[in-house]
Chains A and B, each alone.
Chain A
Amino acid sequence: MHIAEGFLPVIHCVAWYAVSAPFVIHGARKVITEAKEHPESRLLLAAAGAFTFVLSSIKLPSVTGSSSHPTGTGLGAVLFRPPVMAFLSTIVLLFQALLLAHGGITTLGANVFSMGIAGPWVGYALWTLSNRLGWHRNVGVFLALAFADLSTYLVTSVQLGLAFPDPVSGLAGSVAKFAGVFAISQVPLAIAEGILGVLVFRLLTDVAAPELRRLGVFGAAKEAVA
């Protein structure tokens, strides 16, 4: 669930663009450096972006039986790191806005912050923390994906709440309202995304160990443990 085109007042649009910009620029710098040092990584980064885009446009079953789109950013954060995800998510959100009419150009800054910055960083922080505490990798993956998803929607609720304070109960009311509509219904989906992530990771370690090693996923887990 992204914030739709035209949904935010112009001040909010500008503000969220400003908040997101440093993160996206930082990610873009990393991407440029990587692309210059290893020209072939352009193709791999593009593959990662396409994977994220397609992942966000397929349906995921929820525990309650309804279905929704996974954010995919938790998986992306673990595989490709948050700075790269900030850049890739910006592209993916631009594509979603213009190719799927999901999200918008004016709300791009806000959506990038929730899905491309908050989600991946929360997910990655939990992944690192779990590794450092020596928890099983499955726990780390589950936490990273579930909370990347959940935090994305919570941030979205806050963004909408800030834009539309409730005439009766003010900011607290509006945030609670949007959280009720979006985030609570998202809890089962976040759990589903977490479980899915664990299953995907198990499959990938079976068949794509070299690819994961190249991405440094195993290294990160080990490094964090040590």
Chain B
Amino acid sequence: MSHGLALDHAAWSSPWRARSLRDKGVLCLGLLLAAICLPPVPGGAAVAVISLALLLGPIRVGWTRLLRIGWLPLVSILIGVATVAVSVSWADGLRLEVTDAGTAAAVQLAVRALAATLAMFTLACSTPMIDLLAGLRRLRVPDPLIEIAALIYRFSAGLLDSASAIHAAQDARLGFVNRTATMRSASMGVAALFLRSWDRARRLEDGLAGRGYTDALRTLEPARRRSSGFLAGSVLLLVAVTATALSWPVTR
């Protein structure tokens, strides 16, 4: 975890990792779909609450980690929502104003984006990237593409560590003391990273040849637990959310 990707670490340590992708996929992608398809209130709100309960409950992300993961999308949602809320016009000089229609659209957007983000977290925090790629393979995405994606994942971890080590070393020698130095440091760092990623690939190719690598990077998939109960429960939950959301305006 030295590279500090909190989402990645959460996924690998989640109790749900051993569940089959089919089960998790139906639930998590179902929630995501509900978040963007259903009216934000109550559909999106319900998805947000359910996702939050799943994340803090069975997926065991924990509050502190969730905040650490969540602040970046939260900030970017807020900037976007604020931009939608404020209207501009320039017919008679530049004017900024907040209209009722703008505010309503902004609130709807905020709820939908928040719900979708939390729904996406249920997948990202319970399923390592590599399992998702294995799922894509089963969806007939060609092998070479999956292999390259899996290697990108593996290389990225080491390269992120290199990037932070280079940054620390440059900082220690005052590499970010002013703008000129910063530009020089950044360019040297990027060039060094390029060479390192290239070198890494070459050396790995050598190492894999000894293990019989010719034209495919086949590996065996670890066993995963399928549960029809889990699947049925997920479907029921999604149906319930959808039904409630669609009948909401009628019952009110």
Name A's B-contacting residues (CB within 8 A).
Answer: 1, 3-10, 13, 28, 31-32, 35-36, 39-40, 42-51, 53-55, 57-58, 60-61, 63, 65, 75, 87-88, 91-92, 94-95, 97-102, 104-106, 160, 164, 166-169, 173, 176-178, 181, 192, 195-196, 199-200, 202-204, 207-208, 211
Contact = CB atoms under 8 A, between A and B. Distances in A.
A48 B197 contact: yes
Contacts of A211: 194-195, 198
A101 B69 contact: yes
Given A98-B129, A99-B8, A199-B183, 5 more contacts: A6-B116, A44-B198, A46-B152, A168-B87, A173-B90
Identify the interface centre among B201, B204, B215: most chain A CB within 10 Å of its CB.
Answer: B201
B149 interface: yes
Interface of B: 5, 7-8, 32, 35-37, 69-70, 72-73, 76-77, 79-80, 83-84, 86-91, 97, 99, 101-102, 105, 109, 112-117, 119-121, 123-124, 129, 132, 142, 144-145, 147-149, 151-156, 159-160, 163, 167, 176, 179, 182-184, 186-191, 193-195, 197-198, 200-202, 204-205, 213-217
Given A7-B77, A173-B88, A36 B144 contact: yes
Nearest to A46: B151
Given A10-B37, A168-B87, A168-B89, A57 B32 contact: no
Identify the interface centre among B88, B190, B201: most chain A CB within 10 Å of its CB.
Answer: B190
Nearest to B158: A50
